[in-house]
Structure 1
Amino acid sequence: MTSSNVSRRGLLRTAALGAGTLALGGGLSACGSGSPSSAADALTYWDWYVTQAPWVDKEIDLFEKGHSGVDVKKTTQQNAKYADLVALANRSGNPPDVFMIPQVPSVAEQVAKGWLHPLDEWATPKWQSRFPEGTFLEGANVFDGKVYSAPLKGSGPLYQLYVHHGVFKAAGLTNPDGSVKIPRTWDEVTSAAQTITKKSGGKSYGLGFGNADNIGVLAWWLDLFVRGAGAPGGAPTGAGTGMDYRVGKWTYGTDRSYADFLELFVEWKKRGFFHPNSVSLSDEAARAFFERGKFGMTVGGVWNQPEWTQHKFTDYSLVTLPSPTATPKGFYYADPVGNGAFAAVSAKSKKAHEAFQWLDALTSPAAGRRWVEDLNGVSAYPADNDPAGIDSKPFAAFVGMTRQVLRGPVPLVRNPELAGVAPGAPKPDISDVVTGIYTGQVKDVQGALSSLADQKFQLLSDAVAAVAKQGKKVSTSDYVFADWDPTKPYTTKKKA
């Protein structure tokens, strides 16, 4: 449950508006960029970074200058097809030397398939010690005591509430000193949305989003608002995600925060606070509408900011964890098992030493600080995440939100044998349920939430049983952390 730096739609949009180098409609083709080197002996490197491509290109340039005779040939693959492309490259025996690890299959499966090169020859204890404690975990990126990957970025709040200053000022939502009155509670969001909608005369609405792309936008709203209400599982999309580790189950139907917010969400719609075209707008169109002041508040992630910065739009603020109470009862939680931003060396690389040198440079503290300074996201190194010196006030605000991310329980740390557990995703999942509630297609809100929670736990139980049949000592009880206080960082405890 960590910060994403570019959404799939954002990636496609950026590519389309950029140099036109990413093949958007042609299936599996992709672009090579970065170093101009096309020599057959160059190191090959794959990622899915488009918005962050200038940072990668800069790191390649610095690396090549410091490593005479070693060139890096970068290929930026289409995000939606990345996992398939990596699998295909491995099956054909021609994978890249270094690559961002796809989220599917799991890292454990990739190691078992022989895709990843163990890094222990170079990743010494001294090298590992430069990373924050807990970076290298058995069952996450360490298997049978061998290290297989290193992180490219750190954890920030996944979603934020964005507030348009101009819209708020036009509605008179200001403090005595003229600054914008930023809403931080559910009631304050409701009041601001009502005021904007009423006073704008139809020119602006209080709230807006774009859900036409089917990328889970409405689940973002649920996730953001219920965490601060004390539902630590939130509502992230993806198989196996969103569990409340206090009980080892999905609590959509038993934690009233979910139904309470969805009731409020539907009330906002009934009272006309949402832009009427929200369901039919694309995510990128919604960002453009927000920029132009068509609505005063929207929910998204840090991936919104590069486009707005490019357009010189900085007249906004962002907050995270809006809550029913003045003080949030929950947070976002860092999970080092998340592998979407880890780099690895291919087991088939004929230049493994040089490949590790590139991975070493790409995951270094210096590269991490440049990642932050280039407004890409949060570094894996806490010392890099200093808002001072960052020119963009909105991005500096995001970097400062790292304190809203606490270390949470990680079942794999307590029982590494869980690495093989891979539950499927139900259909409909949480995003579909929220969309159905918003559109009125789902009438029994409580029933839909409870049913989904039961389905997700059954899928987990089936996945655990499958691994247990292989002789592994695993149980659904491995996901229960009854001693966890979601308002405090979790202290790692090994399974006895």
Structure 2
Amino acid sequence: MGAKRVQWTGVILLGASVALAGCSDNQAENAAVKDNAGSQATKEGSASSNAKEAKAAEGEETVVTLWGASDFLKGNASPGQQMVKAFNEQNKGHIRVDARYMPWAEYNTAVQAAATSGELPDIFQTPQDTDIRTIVANGWAQPFDGLVSDAWKTQFTAAAFAEGVNVIDGKTYSWPLTGPQLNSILYYNKGVLEAAGLDPEKPPATWDELRAAAKTVTEKGKGDVFGLVFGGGEHGDASGITKFVGSLAGGINSQAAFGFDYKTGRYEYGSDAIVESFDYLTKLKADGSILPSSYTLKNTEASALFGQGKAAFLVDGRARMWIVKRDSPDIKLGLTSIPTKDGSKPTYYYVSADPSGYLISSSSKHAEAAGEFIEKGFASLLFYEKYLHSGVALTPIASINDDASLYPYPEFNTFLELHKSELKLRPDYAIRNPLTAKVIVELGSLAQPKIKPGYGNILQSVLIGAGSGKDIATQLKAYDEKLNKGLDDAIAKVKGEGANVSRDDFTFPDWDGTKDFTLDDYKQ
């Protein structure tokens, strides 16, 4: 693509079609609002500058603590830490941000302990297996309103903020950390394919081709190099086993590939697509094509081994590209679509308003400073330009995604094209009925983390032979029954408390998975 500006704006703005009713279409009125917001921002900026000078003169400096498990905060050279450093330099004597990165397992435990003791950091990320709705219901977070300017929100699309997702009872609690995210990509090490006598410019497009290539690499590797590696030791949806099975299932039945089918409004972990994809994984295992330690590896470990040339293929999400490029700069990296049974292109889905992200804790004694950091640092052009230039992901700001001068390396062009061609906007029950947030709070999240063993645990136990002896289809069908009952019970409880919700709010029978689900589709 070179210096050509890629027109990703239209794709990002697909989310705008599901903006909540009440947004004005009057351009003149919008312009007036922006002018007023700009004027107000100028006044606020002047006042802020005076306050900075006063504090600096008094020798005071507010320390804002930030905790997160996002890899973009890992290491001094990461885009997150670079943004924090730049913000601290610009605000020396006024605000200093202390950003701490932790791996997910450590982070989840630390946040729970901090919340229990009333010592949450000023800004924290939603832990795994939960979301903003549950965090707010638990009283852990406070809204951004009054802490950031109205003008700040206008840099994002209107659909990026939705009642019942990251807006609760009219109050804003987070922002869209990224643009659309493709969480199913086949990464391949061209150097490994070359060493095995395979064409590095012709990655596998079908299941048969992937299996054959993995076999060849393993045979030529003689116990040192294998066809496939994954982080099978991770928890839940983060597990490489879960990602692999769900990604392949997306090429068979995309609507049910990751457990909940929005067409039927029911959990479908036992669907034919998932069972068949899992069976395919067991065949790769039987071939000996999987690096043996994969079943206990963390994602970071699997990534490192892939980068070191110990495996040809790795199925993972958008974050793996920049992590591999960062940690293994000399790798000849390839990216392509997840192989399907017949070689057709798979389809995956996203929503514009993200129910996870970073929040300001309700116990923060520095909420105003935290809001200033979010507006001028963490969720600003200062951060997102570094974010895109590092290759972390697409941003929620269209003008940055369009700036080809920020693309960090040639592989990013393929990364961008995969996002454009394979991602579609799916229905969101919260857009249809914001009161469904009450149901989600009852469940913990739609994935219902309270029900054990979970999906990832079931897959892992059967794959390594530690299961109950029942076949995978039987176990997943039983799991579906528990989940569907859990959803029904939660709806009944919330409805009994006076909320107008039903199973129909989660069901979109006319959804055409090959197209974006628009505002008109909600109306129909």
User: Normalized against structure 1, the TM-score is what?
Assistant: 0.80
Equivalent position SS for 1:232: helix
- Tell me by how many angstroms 1:392 deviates: 3.1
Match of 1:331 in 2: 348
Match of 2:209 in 1: 188
- Tell me by how many angstroms 1:166 deviates: 1.7
Match of 1:61 in 2: 85
Q: 1:335 and 1:224 mapped to 2: Cα distance?
A: 21
Q: How does 1:431-470 map to 2 (within 5 A)?
A: 431-440=456-465, 441=467, 442-470=469-497
Equivalent position SS for 1:274: coil
CA distance 1:257–1:204, shift in 2 (3 Å): same
Equivalent position SS for 2:478: helix
- Tell me by how many angstroms 1:370 deviates: 1.2
CA distance 1:415–1:228, shift in 2 (3 Å): same
Equivalent position SS for 1:431: helix
CA distance 1:95–1:244, shift in 2 (3 Å): same
Match of 2:280 in 1: 264
Match of 1:23 in 2: none
Q: Name the amino acid aligned to 2:388.
A: V
C-alpha RMSD of the superposition: 3.0
Paired residues of 2:491 and 2:502 also in contact (CA < 8 A)? yes
Q: 2:355 and 2:60 mapped to 1: Cα distance?
A: 34
Q: Name the amino acid aligned to 1:310.
A: D
- 1:402-453 CA distances to partner (integer Å, 9 max, x unpaired)? 2132221111111111112242333222222222342344552322232222
Match of 1:380 in 2: 396
- Tell me by how many angstroms 1:130 deviates: 1.5
Q: 2:248 and 2:129 mapped to 1: Cα distance?
A: 28
Match of 1:71 in 2: 95
CA distance 1:311–1:104, shift in 2 (3 Å): closer
CA distance 1:205–1:134, shift in 2 (3 Å): same
Q: Name the amino acid aligned to 2:173.
A: Y
- 1:248-305 CA distances to partner (integer Å, 9 max, x unpaired)? 112233x422222222222222233323443355544433432333332122334444
Match of 1:357 in 2: 372
CA distance 1:405–1:65, shift in 2 (3 Å): same
Match 2:191 to one of 142, 166, 187: 166
Q: Does 1:296 align with 2:317?
A: no
Q: Does 1:220 align with 2:238?
A: no
Paired residues of 2:226 and 2:312 also in contact (CA < 8 A)? yes
Match of 2:161 in 1: 136
Match 2:432 to one of 400, 414, 417: 414
Q: How does 1:2-151 map to 2 (within 5 A)?
A: 41-49=62-70, 51-53=72-74, 54-67=78-91, 69-76=93-100, 78=102, 79-83=104-108, 85-86=110-111, 88-89=113-114, 92-102=117-127, 106-121=131-146, 126-151=151-176
- 1:204-252 CA distances to partner (integer Å, 9 max, x unpaired)? 33223342455622111101111122232423xxxxxx31101111223
Q: 1:271 and 1:279 mapped to 2: Cα distance?
A: 15
CA distance 1:154–1:55, shift in 2 (3 Å): same
Match of 1:24 in 2: none
Q: Does 1:314 align with 2:340?
A: no
Q: 2:150 and 2:432 mapped to 1: Cα distance?
A: 21
Q: 2:485 and 2:260 mapped to 1: Cα distance?
A: 13
Match of 2:227 in 1: 206
Match 1:480 to one of 500, 504, 507: 507
State the 4+ residue runs in structure 1 displaced beyond 6 angstroms.
none
CA distance 1:121–1:282, shift in 2 (3 Å): closer
- Tell me by how many angstroms 1:333 deviates: 2.2
Q: 1:281 and 1:229 mapped to 2: Cα distance?
A: 28
- 1:134-158 CA distances to partner (integer Å, 9 max, x unpaired)? 1110011112222222233233211
CA distance 1:90–1:193, shift in 2 (3 Å): closer
CA distance 1:400–1:366, shift in 2 (3 Å): farther
CA distance 1:332–1:211, shift in 2 (3 Å): same
- Tell me by how many angstroms 1:317 deviates: 0.9
Paired residues of 1:244 and 1:251 also in contact (CA < 8 A)? yes
Q: 1:43 and 1:200 mapped to 2: Cα distance?
A: 50
- Tell me by how many angstroms 1:344 deviates: 2.8
Identical amino acids, percent of aligned pairs? 27
Stretch of structure 1 that moved more, 456-465 or 346-355: 346-355
Match of 1:153 in 2: 178
Q: 1:81 and 1:349 mapped to 2: Cα distance?
A: 22
CA distance 1:77–1:182, shift in 2 (3 Å): closer
Equivalent position SS for 1:247: coil
- 1:82-141 CA distances to partner (integer Å, 9 max, x unpaired)? 455445545555543333344565423433454433333365654322102311100111
Q: 1:139 and 1:395 mapped to 2: Cα distance?
A: 34
Match of 2:359 in 1: 344
Paired residues of 2:62 and 2:96 also in contact (CA < 8 A)? no
Q: Name the amino acid aligned to 1:419.
A: A
Stretch of structure 1 that moved more, 387-396 or 179-188: 387-396
Q: 1:167 and 1:263 mapped to 2: Cα distance?
A: 26
Paired residues of 1:333 and 1:408 also in contact (CA < 8 A)? yes
Q: 1:393 and 1:227 mapped to 2: Cα distance?
A: 27
| 5+ residue gaps, structure 1 | 1-37, 236-241
Stretch of structure 1 that moved more, 305-314 or 429-438: 305-314
Q: 1:105 and 1:298 mapped to 2: Cα distance?
A: 27
Paired residues of 1:45 and 1:74 also in contact (CA < 8 A)? yes
Q: 1:227 and 1:479 mapped to 2: Cα distance?
A: 20
- Tell me by how many angstroms 1:359 deviates: 0.9
The aligned length equals 446
